[in-house]
Structure 1
Amino acid sequence: MTMMTFLTAPRRLPQAIVLVSAAILFTVNVFEYGFGYLPCQLCLYQRLPWWIALGIGCVALMTDGKRRDLATLLSILALIAIAVGAGIGFYHAGVEYKFWAGPSGCSGTQELSGGLAAAIQSVSEGPKGPSCGEPAWTLFGVSMAGYNFLVSLIVVVIGGLAAKKRLRTA
């Protein structure tokens, strides 16, 4: 069975959601802790839908044998969470490509006036994370936020088709 067949098989929808969510979260943590790419605030927001989808997917997986209808509903909810993540990824990629401004608290650096006030402020607030407007890593000109958008969109479309087939056979 190929990976595409596995992901589009209606009976495998909860497993596919769990597998893809876990793979995404594993990958971003390897980038952060293994390679030292610190996430900005929008990067952290993009992880939340994957965590939600992973949790909902695990519950769907546990209920799939006894309550297929409930497992399908839970899978659809997980896909909705991933769709929200696609929206966050799209927004973040737009910030990185300077299509629009990012949130004010995500600059990565802060203007300090100098002297004692600057020293107190820097100690009390701790280190600043990276800027949301500067991609930490790119491949073929696409940032991690761009890849998150693309992968999320593909998962939602393929998962939606599998959910549709699953609803027909219920």
Structure 2
Amino acid sequence: MTSDALARTLALATPVALLAGALGSQYIGGLYPCDMCHWQRWPHYAAVPLALLAILLRAQPIGTIMLWLAALAIFASGAIGLFHAGVEYGWWEGLTTCSTTSSGGDFMNDILAAPIISCDQPQWTLFGISLAGFNAIISIGAAMVIAWLTTRKA
């Protein structure tokens, strides 16, 4: 596999895997996301179609632009994750204090029954690293690898 093909594959696989993990932990694992958790997902939602376009248009210059935009979106998610992790570890204050979730059904009962999720308390950690921390590590690392592979001569 060429470095260009590897970069495009990584640009698609990274946000798909991280979104699957986030959505799986929410809907299967019961971990309710806070506001900043949702913020980290938005750039990944954008990176998926950008990466798909980068793959589909790989023979054209616009395909490379789409690849760079996907890498930038992945990096942005990692930067938001780094900010969120800093809030969780008490390095700085966050922009919000809590959020609630709604299933879209009976809105008022959903609001009253939903747990209040604080952005400064990680719901899950592994080796002292929260989900936001893992998103930061994986997303920033993947974006850097995509950039390196894209600038590398085949």
TM bucket, shorter chain:
0.7 to 0.9
Quote the residue 2:105 is aligned against.
Answer: none
User: Which amino acid in 2 is paired with 1:152?
Assistant: S
1:96 maps to 2:94: no
Contact 1:102 1:132 in 2 (8 A): yes
Residue type at the aligned position of 1:135: P
Instruction: Say yes or no: does 1:59 pair with 2:50.
Output: no
After superposition, the C-alpha distances for 1:99-152 in whole angstroms (9 at most, x for unaligned) are 111123x3359xxxxxxxxxxxx8796435410000010000000000010001
Deviations 1:38-67 (A, max 9, x none): 100000000011111111001111111x41
Alignment partner of 1:49 is 2:40: no
Report what 1:152 is aligned to.
139
TM-score, normalised relative to structure 1? 0.78
Counterpart AA for 2:145: I
Equivalent position amino acid for 2:34 in 1: C
Unaligned 5+ segments in structure 2 are 101-107
- Specify which of 65, 68, 77 is matched with residue 69 of structure 2: 77
Q: Pick from 117, 137, 146: which aligns with 2:124?
A: 137
Q: Under a length normalisation based on structure 2, what TM-score does the superposition of the two structures give?
A: 0.85
Structure 1 residue 15: Cα displacement: 2.1
Task: Please provide the CA RMSD for this pair.
Answer: 2.2
Q: Percent identity?
A: 29
Partner AA of 1:154 in structure 2 = G
Q: Secondary structure at 2:134's aligned position in 1?
A: helix
Q: Tell me if 1:31 matches 2:47.
A: no
Q: Please say if residues 122 and 130 of structure 2, whose CA atoms lie closer than 8 Å, have aligned partners that are also in contact.
A: yes
Partner secondary structure for residue 59 of structure 1 = helix
Is the CA contact 2:50–2:70 (under 8 Å) kept in the aligned structure 1? yes
Counterpart of 2:8?
Answer: 14
Contact 2:7–2:145 (CA under 8 A) maintained in structure 1: no
Structure 1 position 86 matched with structure 2 position 78 = yes
- Residue pair 1:60, 1:71 contacting (<8 A) in 2 also: yes
- CA distance in 2: counterparts of 1:162 and 1:46, whole angstroms: 24
Q: Which moved more, 1:83-92 or 1:134-143?
A: 83-92
Greater C-alpha Rg:
1
> For the Cα contact (< 8 Å) 2:14–2:139, is it kept in 1?
no
Q: Secondary structure at the match of 1:161?
A: helix
